[in-house]
Chains A and B, each alone.
Chain A
Amino acid sequence: METRQLTCIGCPLGCQLTVTLEDGKEPVVAGYTCKRGEAYGKKEVTDPTRTVTSSVRVTGGEIAMASVKTRTDIPKDKIFDVMAEIRAVTIPAPVALGQVILPDAAHTGVAVIATKAVAKR
């Protein structure tokens, strides 16, 4: 049996959640005030995910960088793998909003897309 301490992000209250994990059983969340806290606690211990945002260098653009994000959440433990790929990218202008920068970032199956259009210089 394992317990994990989390802070709920649902609202400013920031409930301190204790999640108890036992093999083969549904995680048990304690310390929440509302249902959002319980759901958050379960998700965080079974399948924590995040959206990664960053920016990539643009060549020949009117600005130096284009901001990017993973189109959807990726597993939390893949954040740095995705970042390593993003940091290696340089793209030529023009860049369209929503343009795919990396089709499958760090084998997550999630694309990294531009969140800003960059016109040619």
Chain B
Amino acid sequence: MVPRAVFHGTLFLYILLKILIDRTAKKRYTDNRKRKSGVTVLKYDVVVIGGGVTGCSIARELSRYQLKTCLLEKTEDVCSGTSKANSAIVHAGYDAATGSQMARFNVEGNRLMGELSKELDFDFIRNGSLVLCFDEADRPGLDALLERGKANGVPDLQILSGDEARALEPNLSDEVVAALYAPTGGIVCPFGLTIAMAENAADNGVEFRFLTEVQNITRDGEGWRIDTNQGPVTARYVVNAAGVYADVMHNFVSEQKFTIVPRKGDYCLLDKEAGGLVSRTIFQLPGKMGKGVLVTPTVHGNLLMGPTATDLPDKEATATTAEELSDVQTKAQRSVKNLPLRAVITSFSGLRAHEEHHDFILGECPDAPGFFDAAAIESPGLSSAPAIGAYIAGLVADKAGAAQKSDWNGTRKGIVRPGPLPKEQRAALIKENPAYGSIVCRCEGVSEGEIVDAITRTLGARSLDGIKRRVRQGMGRCQAGFCTPRTMEILSRETGIPMEKICKNAPGSEMLTGEK
């Protein structure tokens, strides 16, 4: 949290600036969202498919180059699939097999994350992680993890005794006999990271097209024709960052087929009252009890536990099950004493884009030149995203022979959060813009000013979930009970979307069924 305090001064200056440019931002928002009419085929140098953390990272890195780039996203917002429902962890990098793409990009992504969080103003805390060993018989496993971590280039790894681990984390189970401590492990806001990269990409000229679902990809001369539900698009190069659908995209163009099997993981999120139980991310060493679950604080002060792992054929099957939620709770209790399970405020599930070889598929498709895969991005995908983005964008730019832009600006300022500001600055902010004095979400203390910012800024939110992911409205203990009606009104007012058309997320998720 130190960086935040240091930034308060500049943040404050920015706030004043921000108010001045609000109107411009609003205009840009409409421009970004405007859909071109007619049947003209849209032409780009590069099309990135998928607005998850990987796609947005690649888009941001591509925005450094003199390339006309467009990102296609099938839902109404970025960060709507796997990127929104995961452990929110920046892994240290000891997990993946030495020499694998996962190992390389995880360690590199972890290294980049700190600097990136400052450039792009998102929440990232290097809180360190512990892998718990509950049984002396499993010790060799822990040692192997240490060796693998060293081989992967993970710095400062250390094995602790049970008591040493408990000295760091007093609420750890008495059963713990040893632990691997990785001080470089971190936690991140996955929405914050993805949205920040997307906004920065957009501000540097990348076009984002939402509600645009890719239906087919075919050769078009030297490049590609991408058929979408919004009409055709052509591009010299295509980047496939389609998450659980990456196999579908890849298999349109390649004879070397692969299959992504969605691997579902259920999670439980606990109230902030439980957020301080542990300060590091607590993993379990896979042992005779199975793979185990993690217990971790989130960057926002909640406690998260999960995930399970269930392979499913359905790429949209994000339904939690009673068995898995109960499994998460039982396993989490093994790591941390006195887990207050009554403090669960929500549960959710996410789908990891698992491929049988269990490694990232990165690079130009051998039998489809100009088509680049960033596929099979399962854990540690979030941690690796910054590194994957730079890598893929580099490949594309090399192939295109594209030069770097001279006016690229890699910094982005996040939504101003009055909550953590000192009282005087907060008071001054409200004086400048009274909307910051009106609290909409009581649990998270989110003001109208923040919600308006979330809607009117670059790639602004168009749905309640979009607002929630940007400013945490509705993420607190009442889970949007109080603030839903008011937030809907603000969204309707700022965008002109009628109340009856306000959606929770994608079209079809309308909140209301008409006027009474």
Contact = CB atoms under 8 A, between A and B. Distances in A.
Interface string B415-444: 000000000000000000000000000000
Contacts, number: 3
A102 to B, nearest CB: 17
Nearest to A87: B516
Contacts of B516: 55, 57, 87
Contacts of A87: 516
Contacts of A55: 516
B492 to A, nearest CB: 13
Q: How large is the interface on B (under 10, 10 to 19, 20 to 34, 35 or more residues)?
A: under 10
Nearest to A65: B516
A67 B516 CA distance: 13
Nearest to A56: B516
A87 B516 CA distance: 8
Interface residues of A, number: 3
A55 B515 CA distance: 12
A57 B516 CA distance: 9
A33 B94 CA distance: 73
Interface string A23-60: 00000000000000000000000000000000101000
Nearest to B515: A57
Interface string A52-81: 000101000000000000000000000000
A24 B516 CA distance: 44
A43 B516 CA distance: 33
Contacts of A57: 516
Interface string B492-516: 0000000000000000000000001
Nearest to A54: B516
A57 B515 CA distance: 10
A55 B516 CA distance: 10
Nearest to A55: B516
A87 B515 CA distance: 11
B514 to A, nearest CB: 13
Interface string A78-121: 00000000010000000000000000000000000000000000
A105 to B, nearest CB: 18
Interface in B443-483: none
A81 B350 CA distance: 49
B485 to A, nearest CB: 11
B500 to A, nearest CB: 14
A30 to B, nearest CB: 42
A99 B274 CA distance: 51
A53 to B, nearest CB: 14
B394 to A, nearest CB: 55
B515 to A, nearest CB: 8
B486 to A, nearest CB: 13
A57 to B, nearest CB: 8
A57 B496 CA distance: 21
Interface in B264-316: none
A1 B379 CA distance: 73
A67 to B, nearest CB: 12
3 contacts: A55-B516, A57-B516, A87-B516
3 A-B pairs closest in CB distance: A87-B516, A55-B516, A57-B516
Interface of B: 516
Interface of A: 55, 57, 87
